[in-house]
Chains A and B, each alone.
Chain A
């Protein structure tokens, strides 16, 4: 092939013009980022300041003397009324609620989603509609009767009540999640399993569940975040004995006589936010996928 000589005039990549539009985009993003980061910044900075500095400089100044004492106090010795064990008991109660709730709600949601996707059960559509409604209705409609039921059965203010509650209110989203996921699996695969003699539970546990690992990850992210962040269920059904961390936090920071220890309060707040935040930072795109999948199928 003949070679040509490049002639005069423009050649190679077009020169990049950083126009006002581009600058505007970056300015907008920068300001937005600052807005979103501000609360995290305030909490982190305040939680390592001594009280004197907070009184002097307010919330936004960088700390001049970093101290971790507020963190230690928040965890183990800050007082809620007469109880001076910090936020740590709430953390452990939250963990105790979290683990069985996540497992049970996901398992039941997955089975329900599977049954609704592949098996033509009578009234399946009706059940699904009722579940969807459950996802959207305000909790206030259910709460009083549930309190009465739990009281009558002796479940009130036990871990079991909270686990059961999280299963109840997690079921719609979990079902939706798995139903949508299984809707994407070729029906022929299911038919092949039926032809091979698979039964309802054997197909689920041997074929579908192993295939659902991506959705299981998404479901775990959603449920861990959701259940950890729950406040209203913990407040209503946990009683005094089983207050999750969010409820303990509100008690801890509630104004008492004397100076409010903002640094301790903020440290406790960060600790309460830590679990979902860590999940979020680790899971990255999975978290987004969870939102999209758990949301409403667009």
Chain B
């Protein structure tokens, strides 16, 4: 390539993005990380405190519980959503009647906010209002379904609502993947006399690998950002038994006014995400990139 004069208009066009990256992303990130190494409490303080905040953080039960919850929620929600979404996509792909209606019904939760999702499930799962009350009303007086008020079970309610919200997304991604499979492949398998379930197992699932990865990445983002849903569904309770890291940070920032601890927690989240993400991003966007033109 010949060396061309720099075209300033290109940089003018890129300026908003550059400013946002430099100030809103990098600047704030460094700021946050910086505070986490000070002994700030209610107000930021400049005294360097080393990793004291981190030591305190990992001695805090609530933080450990929230990490545990996030992992549990992540594994269960992603696992169940992937399986359910894939099965739904496969079922819909069997030339069923009313396909459009089914797709619409399965995907609409994804259009709803976590606030709405959390509220409505909180009502349904509320023992004195929802399922438990209704089933008892049918005469099953000893019926119990009170997960949402149980210390050990509340997080499963978050998983349930999370699956309800996300399974449609997985279904849509998988269905697009299934529809992208060469129709001749199905024909070839029929000529070869391969049973449909074996075809799905041996041929389709390997082919849909990119779809599974996409869906997993998307859902993982939701796991790290999980906040609103927990807030309205369980409030992190009972106690802090269903707390999650994002909520921990928000509470310590704004309610408990302990910004040192909150920023240490945020930084921990950040590092975790970076460790998982960087290799994937690199592989996805830069390794196989072919230059244009």
Distance in angstroms from B143 CB to nearest chain A CB is 12
Report the Cα distance A153→B103, complex, angstroms. Answer: 47
Given contacts A119-B10, A138-B224, is CB(A130)–CB(B26) below 8 Å?
yes
Contact A281 B13 (CB under 8 A): no
Contact B25 A291 (CB under 8 A): no
Given contacts A117-B292, A272-B113, A296-B214, is CB(A291)–CB(B172) below 8 Å?
yes
Cβ contacts under 8 Å, B292 to chain A: 117-118, 183, 187
Contact B9 A200 (CB under 8 A): yes
Which of A3-11, A34-42, A68-76, A154-162 lies at the interface? A34-42
Given contacts A29-B88, A292-B176, is CB(A229)–CB(B124) below 8 Å?
no
Report the Cα distance A120→B60, complex, angstroms. Answer: 49
Cβ contacts under 8 Å, B107 to chain A: 280, 287-288
Who on chain A is nearest to B210 by CB? A298
B11 at the interface (CB under 8 A from A): yes
Contact A201 B9 (CB under 8 A): yes
- Interface size on B, as a range, is 35 or more
Contact A58 B129 (CB under 8 A): yes
Given contacts A33-B102, A59-B124, A141-B32, is CB(A204)–CB(B270) below 8 Å?
no
Per-position 1/0 for A54-80, Cβ under 8 A of B: 000111110000000000000000000
Distance in angstroms from A293 CB to nearest chain B CB is 11
A269 at the interface (CB under 8 A from B): yes
Contact B124 A39 (CB under 8 A): yes
A262 at the interface (CB under 8 A from B): yes
Distance in angstroms from B178 CB to nearest chain A CB is 13
Per-position 1/0 for B1-25, Cβ under 8 A of A: 1000011011111101110110011
B42 at the interface (CB under 8 A from A): no
What is the total of A-B residue contacts with beta carbons within 8 Å?
A: 275
Contact A36 B124 (CB under 8 A): no
Contact A121 B10 (CB under 8 A): yes
Distance in angstroms from A86 CB to nearest chain B CB is 16
With beta carbons under 8 angstroms apart, the residue of A58, A121, A201 that contacts B14 is A121
CB-CB contacts below 8 Å: A210-254 with B? 225, 228-232, 236, 246, 249-250, 253
B227 at the interface (CB under 8 A from A): yes
The DSSP consensus for interface residues of chain A is helix
A131 at the interface (CB under 8 A from B): yes
Report the Cα distance A229→B27, complex, angstroms. Answer: 27
A209 at the interface (CB under 8 A from B): no
Report the Cα distance A204→B123, complex, angstroms. Answer: 49
A32 at the interface (CB under 8 A from B): yes
- Told that A249-B115, A250-B231, A287-B111 touch, could you supply 11 new A-B pairs with CB distance under 8 A? A32-B88, A36-B106, A36-B109, A111-B13, A138-B269, A145-B27, A145-B31, A171-B20, A225-B111, A236-B254, A280-B107
Query: Nearest 6 CB-CB pairs, A to B?
Result: A229-B113, A200-B9, A145-B28, A280-B111, A140-B249, A145-B31
Q: Which residues of A contact B (CB under 8 A)?
A: 22, 25-26, 28-29, 32-33, 35-40, 42-43, 46, 57-61, 108, 111-112, 114-122, 124-125, 127-146, 148-149, 167-168, 171, 175, 183, 187, 191, 199-201, 204, 225, 228-232, 236, 246, 249-250, 253, 262, 265-266, 269, 272-273, 276-277, 279-281, 284, 287-288, 291-292, 295-298
- A sample of 18 cross-chain residue pairs with beta-carbon separation below 8 angstroms, ordered by A number, consists of A25-B94, A36-B106, A36-B168, A57-B137, A58-B137, A59-B129, A127-B17, A133-B281, A134-B24, A136-B281, A138-B270, A141-B29, A145-B32, A171-B17, A187-B293, A249-B119, A272-B115, A296-B284
Q: Which residues of B contact A (CB under 8 A)?
A: 1, 6-7, 9-14, 16-18, 20-21, 24-29, 31-32, 35, 84, 87-88, 91-92, 94, 96, 102-117, 119-121, 123-124, 129-130, 133-134, 137, 164, 167-169, 172-173, 176-177, 210-211, 213-214, 217-218, 221, 224-225, 227-228, 231-232, 245-246, 249-250, 253-254, 259, 262-263, 265-267, 269-270, 273-274, 277, 281, 284-286, 292-293
